[in-house]
């Protein structure tokens, strides 16, 4: 499994993560920030634990994020 973390309030809405890992990210029409699908909010940090098959796409999204607010880590 992997854990994806998103510090949503710092998102600038560039859409890169949505383009790179569409299964896990969507752009919000309400505030122009992206949303981590199935992410749970804890003090502004949204986290989702998902399957290893999403690892590469989300690592690439994290690398592409201009403000470096996506973190991807392997968990057991």
Could you write out the DSSP letters of every residue in 23-70?
Answer: TTEEE-TTTS-EEETTPEEETTEEEEEE-GGGHHHHHHHHHH-TT--E
| Cβ neighbour number for residue 40 with a 10 Å cutoff | 10
Q: For ligand SF4, give the closer residue by CB, 1 or 26.
A: 26
Q: Which tokens belong to 31?
A: 């505030």
**Does 15 contact ligand SF4 by CB under 6 A?**
yes
Work out how close the CB of 75 gets to ligand SF4 at its nearest, in angstroms, rounded to a whole number.
20
1 or 13: whose CB is closer to ligand SF4?
13
Residues 49 and 2 sit within 8 Å (Cβ to Cβ) = yes
Binding mask 37-76 for ligand SF4 (x = CB under 6 A): ---------------------------xxxx-xx------
Q: Applying CB under 6 A, which residues contact ligand SF4?
A: 11-17, 34, 64-67, 69-70
């Amino acid at each position: 499994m992997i854990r994806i973390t998103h510090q949503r309030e710092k998102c600038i809405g560039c859409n890169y993560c949505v383009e790179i890992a569409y299964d896990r990210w969507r752009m919000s029409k309400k505030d122009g920030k992206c949303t981590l699908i199935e992410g749970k909010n804890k003090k502004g940090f949204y986290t989702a634990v998902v399957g290893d098959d999403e690892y590469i796409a989300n690592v690439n999204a994290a690398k592409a994020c201009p403000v470096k607010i996506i973190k991807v880590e392997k968990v057991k």
